[in-house]
């Protein structure tokens, strides 16, 4: 009888965790900006106050640009296709992102934990994966 109760509680917990992840994913997906063309559309999550900008460095040319963040952490950077390194001011961590020649890359940059980049597909499945 105890084993049955533990099994039922584990099943309920699994359903609740799955629902939480799916709802959180949909919420993040609706908050990320999208645009036609190439570049990066992102949501930046940090502990504390959101910085004013993100530093984006072109890996090929080493050109460095600052792109402003919205108060809630939104970022829109129209960039030519290539490989870019994104970092926050005064933070040694960075994320490398490849911008393809055909679309805008949608990301969630989470600088609260070591896994900092999550690639979000434009619509529906598959679930986001680490990039």
Number of domains in the chain: 1
**Percent of the chain whose pLDDT exceeds 70:** 76
Q: Quick check: 120 pLDDT over 80?
A: no
Q: Which two tokens stand for residue 64?
A: 């460095």
pLDDT at residue 116 in the model: 45
CB 76 within 8 A of CB 35: yes
> The domain containing residue 92 runs over which residues?
32-130
**3-state secondary structure string, 47-66?**
CCCCCCEEEEEECCCCCEEE
- Residue 13 lies inside a defined structural domain of this protein: no
pLDDT at residue 5 in the model: 92
Encode pLDDT of 60-119 as tens digits. 898 899 999 988 888 888 888 999 998 888 888 888 888 888 878 888 787 776 444 455
Edge to edge, what strands does the sheet with 74-78 contain? Answer: 74-78, 39-45, 104-110, 117-119, 129-130
pLDDT at residue 131 in the model: 45
């Amino acid at each position: 009888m105890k084993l049955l109760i533990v099994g039922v509680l584990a099943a309920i917990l699994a359903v609740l965790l799955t629902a939480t992840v799916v709802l959180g994913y949909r919420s993040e997906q609706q908050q990320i900006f999208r645009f036609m063309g190439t570049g990066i559309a992102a949501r930046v999550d940090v502990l504390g106050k959101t910085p004013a900008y993100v530093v984006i460095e072109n890996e090929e040319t080493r050109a460095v640009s600052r792109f402003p963040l919205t108060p809630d952490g939104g970022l829109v950077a129209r960039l030519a296709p290539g490989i870019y390194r994104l970092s926050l001011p005064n933070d040694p961590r960075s994320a490398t992102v490849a911008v393809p020649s055909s679309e805008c890359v949608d990301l969630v940059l989470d600088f609260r934990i070591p896994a900092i980049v999550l690639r979000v597909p434009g619509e529906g499945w598959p679930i986001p994966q680490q990039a």
